[in-house]
A and B are shown apart, each in its own frame.
Chain A
Amino acid sequence: MLTLSKAEKTKNTKTIRQMLDYNSLSVKSKHNLLRTAAAIGIGLSVALVLILLTAKNPGQAVKYFLAAPFMSKAYFSHLIEVIIPLLFTGSAVCIMFSANQFNLGLEGSFYLGGLIAAVSGIYLVTDVPFISPLVGILLGGIVGAIITMIPALLQYKWNANVLVSSLMMNYICLYVGLFLLFHYFKDPASSQHSYPIGDAAALTSFFKGTKIHSGIIIAALVTVFSYLLLYRTKTGYSLRATGQNPIFAKYSGLNVGALAVFSQIIGGFIGGMGGAVQMLGLYERFQWVDLTNFGWDGVTIAIFAKNNPKYLPLATLFIAYFRTGAWVMSFKAGVQIDLVSVFEGIMVLFLLAERFLAGTYKKMVFEDADRKRKEREALENNMDKEGAQA
């Protein structure tokens, strides 16, 4: 009977260790799914309870809330309409948050992006097909980029907290916009609408009887671009490294400050484009007298998508689906549309709460490790036996 030499034994244990390497990645993704499901479940339950409490005909209300997009072409069209701006601001936030830059100036970018696109369509290039919308959207992007760049530079140069200054920036944008609207662009025949935007500047509709416009293609392209930028280029790599650990990024030789500013310029550009597309796709005249809220929605969407544009289609579809439901429910069953904000807010809270279901996670990790321990022990026993037989 031969026994294994010591060196061989050590080597064997090592291979076993490598084979059963303590890798709990799968546990983590499982737990993430569970967390997301739980957050959605809690959000939905609260929403349903609120519907039951406030609706005159709860059964009908719930039906609209859960299935509206399938109930008519107009409702489905609304779903797509909601998705378009969310893809823009969602992409923008994904890029900025990936670099850990909490610039919240997208409201301003989106608003002024819309305004400048309208102005372009009213005064600058009013009647050249293709070129008119293109110019409008590019101008929107440029203005949007300037809006987020200002707080970014203030932070870079003078260490002014970007969160605060970008929030302030939004109001500056709104009031500058309102001033311009009421003093220069307002059609005297209307109370708050601008002169009409040239027909050629509008984005074309795809299907008769719906408002689905070619902006969806631009939105899809922007989403793909954002993903490729973040995950397939050296710039994107550098942005993410900066976001994950700025000290590490600096140590690796990356220009952390410039990258931070750059991420916000790109984000603002996409946000401004989103505003322009929204304006040229849906409106005949500029008429926004308040911020659109799409900037904030971008944050919600990015949280759902874990700052990865890859998940934006799913995340925007999810949000847009229930928004459409809430919208239909509001005029069909008389339930306040704000309900959907409660629903979204609750889900975001639970998704952001890092310790949410932490106990379950600990248990899952332990069970996984315990299982591996048993497998390893079985394997070791087998090896000993084999060694003994040999």
Chain B
Amino acid sequence: MKDFLVMENITKVYDNGVMANDNVCFSAEKGEIHAICGENGAGKSTLMKLLFGVEQPNQGRIIIRGEEVKLTSPLKAIEMGIGMVYQHFVLVPSLTIAENVMLGIEPKKGILFDKDKAVELTRAICEKYNFDIDPLAKIEDISVGVKQKVEIIKALIRGAEILILDEPTAVLTPQETKELFEQLKLLREAGHTIIFISHKLNEVKYLCDRVTIIRHGRTMGTHNVADVTEADISRLMVGADVELTISKTEAKPKDAVLRVKNLVTYNELGKKTLNGVSFTVREGEILGIAGVEGNGQRALINMITGFGEGGSGEVSINGKDIRSLNIKQLRQEGLVHVPEDRNVMGVAKNMSIRENLIADKINLPKYNKKLTLNDDAIDEDTQQWIKDFDVVCSGSEQPVGMLSGGNVQKVVVARELTSYTKLIVCDQPTRGIDVGATEFIRKRLVQKRDEGNAVLLVSADLGEVMNLSDKLIVMYGGEIVAYFPDVTDITEEDLGFYMLGIKKMTAEEIGGAYVE
């Protein structure tokens, strides 16, 4: 069907002045899987938010089934048969799958919620689309892969014919990804249109019919996937050939810097978040931690970086017990920390780049005169760091909130790596940022390793942990379930089994992660 979905000359400018979509044209047909490719910050998600009515365009038209529509809210979009599956799920953990699916469209018996009917309806739609799930299971008990299925069912039961999936595989293990793809193919056969947002080109190549490429907010054309190679797509996405695999020499580890021994922690509900975790990171090596999010990484990072409380076990830096130190003292020991969420912890958005860069160094004598700050010294150094770390901005006085994600992250990394460093803790250091910034940050980390720092890297990006790490551990259910002293010959598939908790190494093998 022609004109099934057309987005015409769409321009969208956000409140911070970023033009996220610049005259974008996009169209999809009925019954196809259409990929939207582009690097982080290129404007893919913005385009989809416009299509789902979350944001409204400044210019341009959206045409669905031959008719121009104004999508002023997600409700309007749902009415038009559009469904969206976000990367971060929006489900109520304490309710069952059926209850989540029916939220807002509950079947009623009189004035009461008809639970049996809800289960029945959910079951029916699962059978129709061949989803193998139990409507009575609670969200808090199911895996990420199943949660995603629930999100898809939620969209389908509301009559979605156009299904938008925003980087659906980013949270999945390789095994779950495979299963998702089979499901999506079935949906295509049933006549649904799927818009698949991704920057994983092998997945696009495997799954999709057509691909539209967006770069810097502009469309770089739509192609049949069969006619283009991964390299072609990549070139269109980035504008140049980018090698994201950082080459590095073999690690030359020396003395241990970070030691974690038998660490046990609990959450507010008294549930164990870490269960006897032990490992060592030495000078001159990068230890990667792989694992599906929510398997204890958060608690572990908190305990090392001074945000954790309670629990038992040992954490030491350079042989010094750090459990009782505050963050200022930890930083004096040479701990620096690139936090998971730059916007929550890494920067103060309304403050200038300069002020953000100096945050952890404000008390250094170098930057203070007797009573006031030494503005000249601060200016000199911050200007230099902005240059060294290639932060694209209009000047050091620009508020950090006005920068793109990649540049915000460069500000965070610049601040941390220009401090006194012994141990560098990186939590998702390149999440959601463009390839240029990603490449830059990864190279810096390797460089810091070569200078003799210990690096602890937590990342949901398997490619990243496997490329950067010298040693690798896998976390599942608050425990270390695998330890690889050598990263060169493991595959993503292998890691997947450990990440899902299907396999577990022997205690002896895992014990290798801790060196006295």
**Is the A/B pair a real complex?**
yes
B349 touches A255 (CB 8 A): no
The residues of B that contact A232 with a CB separation of less than 8 Å are 372-373, 375
Q: Tell me if A164 counts as interface (CB < 8 A to partner B).
A: no
| B258-266, B393-401, B460-468, B479-487 - the one binding chain A | B393-401
B394 touches A23 (CB 8 A): yes
Q: Tell me if A381 counts as interface (CB < 8 A to partner B).
A: no
Q: In chain A, what residue has the closest Cβ to B16?
A: A24
Distance in Å: Cβ of B373 to nearest Cβ of chain A? 6
User: Interface on chain A toward B: helix, strand, loop, or mixed SS?
Assistant: helix
Name the interface residues of A20-36: CB closer than 8 Å to any CB of B.
21-25, 27
Binary per-residue interface labels of chain A (206-230) against chain B in the complex, 1 for a CB within 8 Å, 0 otherwise: 0000000000000000000000100
Binary per-residue interface labels of chain A (248-263) against chain B in the complex, 1 for a CB within 8 Å, 0 otherwise: 1111111100000000
Name the interface residues of A358-390: CB closer than 8 Å to any CB of B.
361-362, 365-366, 368-370, 372-373
Q: Tell me if B142 counts as interface (CB < 8 A to partner A).
A: no
The residues of A that contact B367 with a CB separation of less than 8 Å are 234
B368 touches A6 (CB 8 A): no
B373 touches A237 (CB 8 A): yes
| A168-176, A239-247, A291-299 - the one binding chain B | A239-247
A233 touches B239 (CB 8 A): no
A248 touches B359 (CB 8 A): yes
Q: Tell me if A10 counts as interface (CB < 8 A to partner B).
A: yes
Q: Tell me if A238 counts as interface (CB < 8 A to partner B).
A: yes
A373 touches B22 (CB 8 A): yes
In-complex Cβ contact of A253 among B331, B339, B350 (8 A): B331
Q: In chain B, what residue has the closest Cβ to A18?
A: B392
Q: Tell me if A17 counts as interface (CB < 8 A to partner B).
A: yes
Q: In the bound complex, what is the Cα–Cα distance between A212 and B306 (angstroms)?
A: 54
A24 touches B359 (CB 8 A): no
B58 touches A234 (CB 8 A): no
The residues of A that contact B327 with a CB separation of less than 8 Å are 250-253
Q: In the bound complex, what is the Cα–Cα distance between A28 and B345 (angstroms)?
A: 25
Q: Tell me if B346 counts as interface (CB < 8 A to partner A).
A: yes
A248 touches B347 (CB 8 A): yes
Name the interface residues of B382-427: CB closer than 8 Å to any CB of A.
392-394, 398-399, 402
Q: Tell me if B17 counts as interface (CB < 8 A to partner A).
A: yes
A247 touches B344 (CB 8 A): yes
Q: In chain B, what residue has the closest Cβ to A232?
A: B372
Q: In the bound complex, what is the Cα–Cα distance between A237 and B373 (angstroms)?
A: 9
Q: In the bound complex, what is the Cα–Cα distance between A369 and B17 (angstroms)?
A: 6
Q: In the bound complex, what is the Cα–Cα distance between A316 and B224 (angstroms)?
A: 66
B328 touches A240 (CB 8 A): no
Distance in Å: Cβ of B62 to nearest Cβ of chain A? 18
For A23, A361, A362, A370, the residue with the greatest tally of chain B CB atoms inside 10 Å of its CB is: A23
Chain B residues within CB distance 8 Å of chain A: 11, 13-19, 22, 58, 239-240, 305, 307, 326-328, 330-331, 337, 339, 344-351, 355, 358-360, 362-363, 367-368, 371-373, 375, 392-394, 398-399, 402
17 contacts across the A-B interface (CB closer than 8 A): A17-B392, A18-B392, A21-B392, A21-B394, A22-B16, A23-B17, A23-B402, A233-B373, A237-B373, A248-B348, A252-B359, A254-B362, A365-B15, A365-B16, A366-B13, A370-B13, A372-B19
